[in-house]
Amino acid sequence: MHTLYEQHFRKFRNTKQWIINNFLIEQDIHITSMIRLIHLRGAIGNICDRILYGSVTDFIDLHLANPRGMCAGVERAINIANNALKIYGSPIYIHHELVHNKYVVDSLKQKGMIFIENVKNVPKNSILIFSAHGVSKKVRKLAQERCLTILDATCPLVKKVHNEVSKSSMQGKEVILIGHKNHPEVIGTLGQYENKNGKIYLVESLKDVQKLKTTLSIDDTDKIVLKLKNRFPKIHGPHKQDICFATENRQNAVKLLVKLVDLILVIGSKNSSNSNRLLELAQKSQKPAYLIDNNHDLNFFWFKNIKKVGITSGASAPEILTEKIISHLINVFNFSISIYNVPGKKENVTFSIPKELQI
């Protein structure tokens, strides 16, 4: 066996050049991308991995965080979009990304969904879906003025926050919103406050409290709320229910996961706020942690001398991405894997979709 591969590698002294010449790829492409092409040749690819990379772990214990992946609000939004296509057909327009996950968005695009950022770009009398993050009152009003059929996929938990802000606005109360400035969920929530005699303040950090979103880190939110209460003793809220339970559960699951593993993979897109919070929590453990969209983002080098790997996924990431990553580790990287489900809080919550979209 070794003689066969030695003959292949004698053809060129430089291993990289051998790969380039055999697979017709440019020299500046990362070596990991080259290896993916080698894997297409079958068993020889697995041997090449060992020759190129040296000693790597053949056996891995894979620990899956629980809960992980899509939350009830995301599932509801996707069901609304899919059922709308079945009932109305395309084209259907979606304001912003329905959820912050590339796999989900690309799948909807393939089905005929059209994503827009400005309602003015939607033809009059068309069908428009509001994303799970919600929209401001201004956007909603503009959609109505254009005679659009509105299908609202806003997460019910986000709607609760919208209602609280709108109520406070009508009562003339000032509101302090804790969240990230450019997140669409925060933009939509800020847009619920319309009282010109009052004001809504956005607080992103402890420093912002001195100057005076539900997917914020629970720990960070608690610290900010405590600081606000110390500075403004008569302040009210927030309600415990205003912090998304799915966010809290997934963050708690990561805190447990990092104690069990040597490396953490967080499945989620770069623009997913809650996925980034999971990554930050994992990184606090001082163990290697990576945010990946899918199995193609995996890097063979990460697993050198790694025995235990943890996997979690953001609230917008479908479980099929976890399955693809496990398959990649087994069939492409040639690891022998034992899978363990880490005990965690069960989520039995489901959110119903509008009656007109129920099939």
Catalytic entry in 75, 97, 185, 280: 185
Active site residue 185: yes
Strand duo 149-152 + 200-203: pairing: unpaired
Question: Which of 37, 56, 32, 44 is CA-nearest to residue 5?
Answer: 44
Q: Give burial (CB, 10 Å; 0-12/13-18/19+) of 304.
A: exposed
Q: Give burial (CB, 10 Å; 0-12/13-18/19+) of 289.
A: buried
CA dist., res. 55 & res. 74, Å (int): 41
Q: Give burial (CB, 10 Å; 0-12/13-18/19+) of 112.
A: exposed
Separate counts of helices (H) and strands (E) for the chain: 14, 11
**Tokens matching residue 223:** 């610290």
Burial 253-263 (b: 16+ CB within 10 A, else e): bbeebbeebbb
Question: Which of 108, 99, 94 is CA-nearest to residue 132?
Answer: 99
Question: Which of 116, 119, 118 is CA-nearest to residue 98?
Answer: 116
98: helix, coil or strand?
coil
CB atoms within 10 A of CB 131: 24
CA dist., res. 26 & res. 107, Å (int): 30
CA dist., res. 266 & res. 69, Å (int): 10
| Cβ proximity of 269 and 101 under 8 Å | yes
Integer-rounded Cα Rg, in Å, for the chain is 24
Catalytic residues: 185
